[in-house]
Amino acid sequence: MDSVKVGIAGLGTVGSGTVNVLKRNARDIARRVGRPIEITHIGARRDNPACDTQGIRLSRDIFAVATDPDIDILVELIGGIDTARELVLTAIKNGKHIVTANKALIAEHGNEIFQAAQDNGVDVAFEASVAGGIPILKSLGEGLAANHINWLAGIINGTGNFILTEMEEGGRAFKDVLDEAQQLGYAEADPTFDVEGIDAAHKLTILASIAFGIPLQFSQVYTEGISRITIEDVASAAHFGYRIKHLGIAKDTGKGIELRVHPTLVPKETMLSAVNGVMNAVMIHGDAVG
């Protein structure tokens, strides 16, 4: 049986992890999908010792992967928006299916990318763009397909959740915990996307599009971060029986879809309140399943 030929663009933490998983679990994956999955081409600016690329063609030009006639699927893991958009559109024009974990790319250019994919008869898969290993997009699009979704709410940025958890449990200031998050690799050197809610807004945009069947509308999301939250805010919330969580919320109001990301007072007895550290969680309310 012929294998599915995969090309990977980007060999950072996510890219190298993808290589390792596809190689380590090759037998299980082949059994589940019905054909072997073979990585035959990787495009990356530099090697990564965290994964074994022996026997795989390596290119410093990532666009060489997008135009490789032997590749069936391009996995885009370079991050960013502009170059990633050009890379994905190039691959689509060359008849490649796309897999991406790039939430910013999908949220801001997804409408264009999906149209190009439709025009060229290929698919775009982006499950990993929201909530990491939680199969939330497939659940919304397939498992709950018969439901009208009334609302969804989630902790969809692990860095922000780690900071708020440490502020509450350790009585520590925002800046102190942010510094630790950067040292641990949870937050980037420039943490703006995480702490100002932009990352969560990208993910909410994608969730809402699938949940409510609306175009991707990142510019319409009300976005507020956690950088102004103080120890006093956290203590006051706890005094009244709440925890502060940074939530993405999408709601069908009957007059339109409400999209918002902001710090939220969550009662301590609720499930979302108990999700701590870098963990993510999404709650969905459907008319059939509740």
Catalytic residue among 5, 96, 103, 203: 203
What is the chain's alpha carbon radius of gyration, rounded to the nearest angstrom?
A: 20
CB 248 within 8 A of CB 194: no
CA distance 163 to 191: 12
Kind of pairing, strands 222-223 and 257-267? parallel
Tell me whether residue 203 is one of the annotated catalytic residues.
yes
Q: Is 26 exposed, middle or buried (0-12, 13-18, 19+ CB in 10 A)?
A: middle
| Nearest partner of 183 among 168, 169, 157, 162, judged by Cα | 162
Active site residues: 203
